[in-house]
Structures are given as structure tokens and as C-alpha cells.
Structure 1
Amino acid sequence: MVIQESPSSTSSSSKINPMAAFGASGPRQDSVADFYTGKTVFITGGTGFMGKVLLEKLLRSCPGVLQIYLLIRPKRGQEAQERLQQLLCSPLFDPIRKERPSDISKVLAIEGDITQPELAISHSDRALLTRTVNVVFHSAATVKFDEKLKLSVTINMLGTQRLVELCKRMSSLEALVHVSTAYCNCDRSEVKEMVYPPPIGPDQIVSLVDVLDENFVDSLTPKLVGKRPNTYTFTKALAECWLKENKGDLPLVVVRPSIVLSSIDGPLKGWVDNWNGPTGIIAAAGKGLFRTMLCEKSKKADLVPVDMVINLMIVSAWRISCVKSKEIPIYNCVTGQRKPIKWNDFIDICFKNLRRHPLSQVSWYPDGSVTSSRAMNSIKKCLLHWMPAYIIDSFVWMTGGKPKMIKVQSKLCKAAACLEYFTTQEWEFDDENVRALSQTLNETDKKEFNFDVAKIDWDNYLENYILGIRRFIFKEDIESIPKARQQISKLYMVYRLLQVVGVMITWHFLALRYAPLRRLWSNALRLLLHLARMLPFI
């Protein structure tokens, strides 16, 4: 069932006149960094990819920030404090440790769990947070596209509800930034910066998931999710709807990034620390393990650098503290409107840089293509992915080794299947609020907290993206590139030789069936033999 939008629901668009919203006296003149001076910040999802970049940016560009609390759950035998220390050992924080080592002490762990009642935060820590926190960034979420609906609801919806309950008790709260996704309304081809009503209310879904057996919920999931491709986008949409209905007087903003890739600027260009989204596929292609994927190559790939998303989040918190609004300001952090790139161009640039800056110990020459034909993609997967995997694993098994290529291909095919929905469709994401927000910044803040995607140079950015995968995912030094290039050159010769042999074999079998082709083939062979005899005399 699809709920038709009423005029009142359509008017809930969070378009804000950037000048009128400030009132006649104009905006507050404090810079963004000044706003954070003396402030205490609370971050959920701080151990994730975006959370780390947010933490580093606050420390580096807002040196006056008083304290930063990270909600961290114990994991795999590690306590929250241990995980915090491990997080701060990331190369991302090397410049901070070198230039302002004392600032690291501003970061403290709050032990808790987004999936538990009251976030599993102790009574004393809750009292501390409600008394001191001024700004909250909520980025904790399960980003697994194939997550079971029950767990996705628990993290993405109930976790958000529990955080809001805590925020409503914070006496000095000035801003709450909720991180959503541009694709939470991917059942629409055009997505405005507004909250759309879902077919099923969030409270209904919570009740349903709470009372029904998990297996039964799993069987209902496709019907509940509807036109959306996964539980992630579905529960993110429900969370937005719940926030609109229950935010009360909270100074809430919603930031919706599209597909988040590596950082574009300092302190580490190309920084990335996970295999999510296209990164895992590109990394596998660089190793020669992945060569075909279902994709409409002429459609736009809406990709955005992680640090631009973070800059927008930091600025949006400053903005909501300056301008109180009954509506929820929503910011679509996207590139499709002002700096579009097509999937074909993205893939070509990535492959070009995978050959210019090759990975070490590759299995095969990095090459590949995409197709919009499911039948052709299936054939190519069998020939280019599964057949080599079975051959290699059979050989490894016979020599007493441990086969792993079939397992690797299974994971890669699963990852590719999760991306297919996004690589075969196209959306028009409105970003007027983001443009208006940029106009409220002074020139210094526009540079320090840049989220102007129109300034992206895709060739330069994607080259750093590949170098980032090489350095931060595979831990390879730049000094190893010359040796890797030598290996790639050898593989290229073998690759082209096999292609020629393949063409010749195919042509030979065709020539056996058709007389004209047989004569042409015989003449070609005689010419090749003649040239070969002449070669020593050249």
C-alpha cells in the first residue's frame, strides 16, 4: 500500500530561506570553530569510518572544543577504553599526535551499546552527559545491506529513539545531528530535502518486529521493505519519520550522504579504512580477482568524499544553534547535481590508476568491464570469476594447500549483488539546502569546512582514492610501486598473449566449419609463416 502525500505532508519540506531564517538582525557572526570553543560533544558511531573522520576534524579544526565523548561498546574481549586507544592509534590521528598531543586527552570513552535500553550507559555517565553535552552527532547504524530486519530495526530505529530520549534530558543541548542516507527514499526517482511518509508507520514496524518470531519477520521482510532494496534504506526512512513526529523541541538536523568514499583533503588524502560499498569491489579488481559487474554505465554514480560529509555535519550543527527552526533542516550531501560522474567514467579512472599505481602480489592483470545485461553478466561471471576460482582451488587442494578462491568469489559476488540496485538506477537528489548553508559561511570557514562538491576534481580525487586503498587497506608503501609495475607489465604481456591465442583458437574452429573462412585462415597462416622465416634477416 502506498500512502499518497497530502498537501500538508508536502509542505513539510525543510527548505529554509538562508537570510530570512536569521531574522532582521542577520546571522550570528561567530565562526564555526568559535562555536565549538568550550563545547562538549557526544558522538555515537565514533569507531566507524565516518566517526573517526568526524573526531579527527573536530580535534584539528576546532581546537577550542572542550571534551569529546564517544559511545563505545565492549567488543571481542576489549573494553571501551581499549577500543578507544586502538582507534586513536590510527594513522588518521598521526598529525594531531605530532602537532598537539595534549588534545588527544580531550577524547573520552563512554561505555554503552546502541542496541540496549538506555544505551547501556551507566547512571553516572548518563548524569555526566545530560549535564555537560552541547552537541550530539548520531552516526551509529548498521550499514549492512543484507542485515536482518529485526537487528536493523533495533540499531537504526530503536537506537535512534533511545538517543533522543537521552538528548531530551540534556540541559545544555544546542544541536543534534542525525546521519541518515540519501537513499532512504530510493523508491522515488526524485528526492527532495524533506521527510517522506513511509507506507508503514515506524511504531507499527517496531511493534511487529517486537512480537513476531524472527524467522516469521524474515519471511515478511520483502513485503515490508517494498520497493526499497534492503533493510538499511527501509529502517533509515522509518527513523527519519519517527524523528519528525517525536523530536519535540530538540535542535535537530538530518544529513543524508550518498555513497561515501575516501577523504579528498587533509590530513591524509585518500584515507579509507573499510571495504564497504565500491571500495571492496575496486580493491578486488586491483588484485585481478574481479572483472565483471552488472551496471548501467551511462547512469550517474553519486559518490561523495567522507570529509565533505563530515564538514557538512559540523557546519549544520553550528547552523541549527544559530537558527531555531520548528521544521527539521535536511541536507542531501550528494554530487549528482553539481559535480556528476557516470559509472563508466568512475570505473575507467579507477582502472587507469590501478595500473599506474598497481597493488603488489596481484593474481592477474587488473582489467574488466560492466554490462547492463544480466544474462551476459552471468556468463562472464562463470568464465572470469568462478571457472578460474575452481581451477585454482583444485590445484591448491591437490598440492596440499588450503583452497580459498571460491570463498573469496562468493563474498565478492554477494557484495556486487548488494550494489547492483545502485549501479543500475539513477536518482535526482535535490541539494538546495546544502547550497544555501554554504552561502552563510565566511570565506575562512568555506575553506576550512569545505563541502562544496562542485570543486571536486574527479581524476585527482580518484587517483588519491586508489593510492588510499593501496596504503590504508593493503598497508603497502609507495616505494613498492616500481616493483609492482614490473609485475603488472609481465602480466599484461601474458594477458594479451592469451587473448590473441583465444581469438586464434576461436577463429580456427569457425574456419573448420565454413569454407571461405577456412581459405582466409590458411592464407593468414601462410603469411605468418612467411614473415617468421624472414624475421632473422630483418
Structure 2
Amino acid sequence: MLMVTEAMAAIDGPALKTSISDFYLGKTIFITGGTGFMGKVLLEKLLRSCPGVAKIYLLIRPRKGQSAQERLQQLLCSPLFDVLRKERPLDLQKVFAIEGDITQPELAISVTDRTLLSQSTNIVFHSAATVKFDEKLKCSVTINLLGTQRLVELCRRMTQLEALVHVSTAYCNCDRTKVEEKIYPSSVSPEQITSVVEALEENLVDTLTPKLVGNRPNTYTFTKALAESWLKENKGDLPLVIVRPSIVTSSINGPLKGWVDNWNGPTGIIAAAGKGLFRSMLCDANKTADLVPVDMVINLMIVAAWKIATQKTKEIPIYNCCTGMRRPITWHKFIDLCFIYMRKHPFSEITWYPDGTVTSSALQNTIYRLFLQWLPAYVLDGVVWMLGGKPIMVRVQDKLCKAAKCLEYFTTQEWEFDDSNVQSLSLILNERDKQEFCFDVAQIKWEEYIENYVLGIRRFIFKEEEASLPKARKQVSKLYWIYRILQVMSVMSIWYFLTLRYAPLRQLWSNALRLLVHLARMLFIVK
């Protein structure tokens, strides 16, 4: 019997060790990027699902006249922490601000705080990064590469460190169509890029950026790849693990389904389309949209830290956190579902009926945008200007088109992200941990998820309460009929001008017009 038990332990490994929650009992955690989208979800999940955690330190940079402590208090007032404030308010007192800056030497952390972290930290989550796709290379290198190097220097002085989780991106290797869970060699070394960025003026770096970035679409994916390459060569004995999410979107589960607090990625485009401001996008509708809920990424990060701490390895475990292999959805399906739920749960004060099109033709996309976005924007701004108001629609369109341009590389291509390590990690969890820290993307029900995503944008981005829905639905219903009538009128006008020379066709056009007028009258009588 003893031999059987030992054999099972050898097979199951960490599955027979402490649970995830028990592992974090008494642990001290240090988080960079804690004020960001993913950082907030990570903080809330650790407090809610690992109640035994001792302390959590957040690296926070003072800004806009706010101290690090003031920013922390503002963060904890987010609706994301409502459940904790109600059920376990004292747990919020476990969170402390460490004043610092990821862009500065020694992370701009005071000597006292560095000593504190060095002596007490058990787990480090490094999620601080600039996620702007169009960020200048100098800034992107400073944050994503040099910031990672500075954090590693601090981690080497942490005498109690058990796990370091580095958040990368699945698209750091987007110059390949198939991406395995490994670190690929870089065509240029991190040291070379650092030397160039530090030696040259920013305008010269900007000129060289396209050549340096090479086949990658932006500085974000490029510098994330450089950071991975540097970590591979310089991690030493650090218990390092890398998590690579694809396109991170709203939460799928508790405490708030659909929670999102930024305009990044698809969120901003959905919000604009729901308001009737965005109507065309360059996209191959049949390609896979590799979207992953933020809380599933966070669950994987928490479990990955447990795994590396309880099962040491000299290798760097890599986890591609993606949906394309296990639960794929095409852009066509995703966009259709977004429009369905934006009409079912419309935003308030929309400009025009939510509708739109996607095309893989750059020429068609340009034409659509010209007539469906830019022309109406100039007309509306002209009217507002004549009435003495402040025109804004052209500026809005300019921002939307720039945001869409950043996404085009990802909406016109697709990748095969191997996630074997993620699947293996899931298999060693007990049933309770699989539920509490779920990162099994095969469980995603896209229809339900996207509906909550739209509702989340409505509630958390536009700050609209559920009570405003009836009024919003009446408005979208009116705009629907106006939209359809204008479509019919446009078609009939074109038809009329094409048939001016042919009497039978003119008569047919007149009969059709009379029928439409009659139907319109009947519609208003019924109403």
C-alpha cells in the first residue's frame, strides 16, 4: 500500500502538496504594475481567494499631485473591491504602497523599502509595462526591458524569494506563425538595443526604429521579446516563470463579470461602435480572434507561482495563455455577437444606430471610413461650429482610426499558440483549485461572455446604471427605423437616377415609392 502511495505521489507531484490557497498562507508578495488593469485583478484575487496572505506590497509611482499612498487608496475604492470591502474589509489593510518608478535606477525605491522587500518578499509578480503599441522605442525599452533588468537586480537580493512571475505577451514572437512555449533567439541582443537607445537622441532612435523592430509590428512586442531573451541569459538561480497572455479582455467570473477599466485593445473599438461612431475596420473575418479573459490570466499567474515554488527547476517554464487552440472564435463571430448585445443592451446617448462592417480590403475599408465615419464627422462638426459649439467629432475619428490601425496587424493574421504547458499545469490541480483558480479556456461560453463584456463596458467604462436601459432601448429603436429608412431612400435615389431614361422603370420606381409611403402611414397608424 505504501508503495502505491509513493508511486501516486511521484506521478501527481505538486497535486498532492498544499492547495494553492494554503501555499500563500503567511506569504509576502511584491507586485509591479499593481495599478494597471491586470494588476488590480491580481491584487483582488489574491486577497479574496488566498485570505491567508500576510502582506502585499505594490510598486506605485506618485503622479499628478498624488502620493503613492493616495493612489493606493483610490485604487482600493474601485468597484472591483466591493465584495472585499463588504465581507472582509480588514483584508484591505494587508496592502501597502512602495513608492517607486520602474523607469529609474533601483526602481527609485528608498533604501529602507529595498531592505524591507529584500528581507521579507516571497513572491514577485512583474506586470509593469507600457502596453501602448505605438510607444516610442526609447520609452518602451526603458520600461519593458530596463525595468525588468532593475527588478531582477532587486529580486537577487531577496533572501526569501520563492517565485518570480514575469508577464510577457503571446505576440512577442508574432514574427512566427507557430509559437511554442519557449524563448526564441533574438536577431539583435538586448545589450545592443540598450546601447543604441542610451547613446542616441530620441529623434535618431525614432528614425532607426522600423529597422530595429524588423518583422514585428510595434515596439511593444519587440521589447517584450528582448526582455524574455535577457531573462534567459541572466536569470541565474532565480525561480522564474513567464506567462504570455494573448489579447486580454474583460473578466469572465467573479467578483464582477465583465469588469474592465480601460479602453485598450478591442474594448475601445467596441465602445465606439456601440456609440455609433465606428463603422468599418480592416479585418479578416475568418481569422481567429485570440481573446482571453483577464481573470483567467491572473489565475494562471497565481498557480504558476505556486508550481515554480513547490517544484524547483533550472529551466524557465513558459505558459502561453491563449484561446485559439482550445476555444477558438473567429473575428466574424465575435463582432456579430458584439453588435447583437450592443443592440440588446445599448449605451445611452448614442450618436447613431450601432452597425458596421469588416473587410480584408484596405481600399474598401478606406472608402467605408470616408463615407461612414469621416464625412458624417465633418458634417456634424460643421453644424456644431455654426451653432457656436466646440467641434470634437473629427478629433474623435482621428483617435479611433489610430487605435484601429494599431490592431490591424492582429485582426488580419492568426497564430498557432502551443499551450501544452498550460494544459499540463491544469492537470495537476485538485478539483477545488481548478474551480477557484480556473484558467481552462475550454470552459468559455462565448455568447454569455461577450454579453457580459458589453454590459461591463456599459457599466464600468461609461458608468451607466441598469436603470438607464429602457430609455436607451427606446432611443436605439428610433435610430433603427431612421437608419433603415435612410438606407432605402439611398438605394431608391440611386435607382431613380439610373432609370431616368426608361419610362417603364420610372413607373416601377413611382409605384414602389407609393407603396413605401403607404406602409409608413400604416406603421404610424398601428403605433
**TM-score class normalised by the smaller sequence:** over 0.9
Pick from 492, 508, 511 the counterpart of residue 523 of structure 1: 508
Q: Secondary structure at the match of 2:134?
A: coil
Q: Secondary structure at the match of 1:512?
A: coil
Find the aligned partners of 2:342 and 2:209 in 1 and give their Cα distance. 39
What is the CA distance between 1:29 and its match in structure 2?
1.4
Map of 1:439 onto structure 2: 427
What is the CA distance between 1:523 and its match in structure 2?
2.5
Change (3 A) 1:505 1:304: same
Is 2:296 the counterpart of 1:305? no
Taking only aligned residues, the RMSD between alpha carbons, in angstroms, comes to 1.9
Q: Would you say the 8 A contact 2:148–2:227 is kept in 1? A: yes
Matches within 5 A, 1:38-437: 38-437=26-425
What is the CA distance between 1:43 and its match in structure 2?
0.1
What is the CA distance between 1:325 and its match in structure 2?
1.0
Is 2:456 the counterpart of 1:471? no
Find the aligned partners of 2:75 and 2:104 in 1 and give their Cα distance. 23
Q: Secondary structure at the match of 2:160?
A: coil
Task: State the Cα deviation string for residues 310-345 of structure 1 (Å, max 9, x = none).
Answer: 000000000000111111000000000000000000
TM-score (norm 1): 0.94
Is 2:17 the counterpart of 1:26? no
Q: Secondary structure at the match of 2:58?
A: strand
- Structure 2 letter corresponding to 1:227: N
Q: Secondary structure at the match of 1:476?
A: coil
What is the CA distance between 1:522 and its match in structure 2?
1.8
Change (3 A) 1:501 1:134: same
Q: Secondary structure at the match of 1:260?
A: strand
What is the CA distance between 1:479 and its match in structure 2?
1.2
Matches within 5 A, 1:501-520: 501-512=489-500, 515=502, 519-520=504-505
Find the aligned partners of 2:299 and 2:87 in 1 and give their Cα distance. 21
Change (3 A) 1:510 1:40: same
What is the CA distance between 1:266 and its match in structure 2?
0.4
Mark the runs of 5 or more structure 2 residues left unpaired by the alignment.
1-5
Map of 1:498 onto structure 2: 486
- Structure 2 letter corresponding to 1:430: D
Q: Secondary structure at the match of 1:370?
A: strand
Q: Secondary structure at the match of 2:481?
A: helix
Change (3 A) 1:100 1:163: same
TM-score (norm 2): 0.96
Find the aligned partners of 1:526 and 1:500 in 2 and give their Cα distance. 14
What is the CA distance between 1:25 and its match in structure 2?
8.6
Map of 1:35 onto structure 2: 23
Number of matched residues? 517
What is the CA distance between 1:532 and its match in structure 2?
6.3
Find the aligned partners of 1:145 and 1:529 in 2 and give their Cα distance. 54
Find the aligned partners of 1:325 and 1:531 in 2 and give their Cα distance. 74
Higher mean Cα deviation, 193-202 or 523-532?
A: 523-532
Change (3 A) 1:527 1:225: closer
Runs of 4+ in structure 1 off by over 6 angstroms are 530-538
Pick from 415, 433, 444 the counterpart of residue 456 of structure 1: 444
Find the aligned partners of 1:531 and 1:337 in 2 and give their Cα distance. 50
Q: Secondary structure at the match of 2:124?
A: strand
Find the aligned partners of 2:332 and 2:245 in 1 and give their Cα distance. 21
What is the CA distance between 1:37 and its match in structure 2?
0.3
Q: Would you say the 8 A contact 2:287–2:331 is kept in 1? A: yes
Mark the runs of 5 or more structure 1 residues left unpaired by the alignment.
1-18
Task: State the Cα deviation string for residues 18-72 of structure 1 (Å, max 9, x = none).
Answer: x99x857933510000010000000000000000000000000000000000000
What is the CA distance between 1:531 and its match in structure 2?
8.6
Q: Would you say the 8 A contact 2:123–2:163 is kept in 1? A: yes
